[in-house]
Homo-oligomer: A and B are copies of this chain.
Amino acid sequence: MSYNLLKGKKGIIFGALDENSIAWKTAERAHEEGAEFVLTNAPIAMRMGTINQLAEKTGSQIIPADATSVEDLENLVEKSMEILGGKLDFVLHSIGMSINVRKGRHYTDQKYDWTQKGTDVSAMSFHKVMQTLYKADAMNEWGSIVALTYMAAQRVFPDYNDMADNKAYLESIARSFGYFFGTDKKVRVNTISQSPTPTTAGSGVKGFEGFFSYAEKMSPLGNATALECADYTITLFSDLTKKVTLQNLFHDGGFSNMGVSTKIMEAFTKD
């Protein structure tokens, strides 16, 4: 399937680890839709994943960058414009990590060095990416910047731990920077709040499987897949959504506006 929605558009895609990644699917779809882009990820993530295959498949170059390092980001943006031959039309931020989650520290027993590191990687990195793009005047007018987020920013999911707060911080950065990027450069900035997705990162969260099934039963259309998220992201990179900005857009089969579904009540009252 291809509509040439991104024909001639150039971009940077952060966070493609392996073929389960939303960023990976987005890269594949962006390629199909006619875009050219640079792939990037943290050096450590690159060693763990298989990004080279994606680069080959999509004819892309890879520039490693630690998204918490302004220096790395400046290098990334500069090199990307050289490689792609001009300014950028789209950027995808799909980065998140909590050491407290990884190490199994409960939310009421945080190690604050880890909390701070998670905030830097998961949220402040988005500010750093945008500040670097803004200062380098690297985005074309009517360009589009998207970050992936999760509804834990609005509502409590106990096992999501400090990532909930990181996502709230991230979504606020999208609004705050989106104002200046819109007013000064005519660039839009939005976040997509995606269903729980069995990516390599997501599946690692405690109790993921049970929760995935819960969300599936709660959502009128079921959970959204990584590929469907990629499709939706493509629409936000296209010229058909030029006036959508500062928004947090739920892509979740309807979960976000559910109080309870009949299927959940049935499972609940079966006991």
Contact = CB atoms under 8 A, between A and B. Distances in A.
A176 B157 CA distance: 8
Contacts of A116: 116, 120, 124
A99 B150 CA distance: 29
Contact of A247 (B131, B257, B269): B257
Nearest to A120: B116
A180 B108 contact: yes
A178 B220 CA distance: 8
B249 A243 contact: no
A132 to B, nearest CB: 10
| Interface class of chain A by DSSP | helix
A165 B172 contact: yes
A228 B243 contact: yes
Most B CB within 10 A of own CB, among A107, A179, A181, A252: A179
Interface residues of A, number: 98
A221 B151 CA distance: 21
Interface in A170-210: 171-173, 175-184, 186, 188, 195, 207, 210
Contact of A107 (B156, B177, B246): B177
Contacts of A152: 259
Contacts of A52: none
27 contacts: A107-B176, A108-B134, A108-B184, A109-B135, A119-B119, A119-B124, A155-B259, A156-B175, A156-B176, A156-B220, A156-B246, A156-B254, A158-B179, A164-B176, A165-B176, A169-B172, A182-B254, A210-B269, A221-B242, A221-B245, A224-B242, A225-B243, A232-B240, A234-B240, A243-B253, A244-B250, A247-B250
Interface of A: 1, 3-5, 70, 107-110, 112, 115-116, 119-120, 124, 127-128, 131, 134-135, 151-158, 162, 164-165, 167-169, 171-173, 175-184, 186, 188, 195, 207, 210-211, 213-214, 219-225, 228, 231-232, 234-235, 238-247, 249-254, 256-265, 267-271
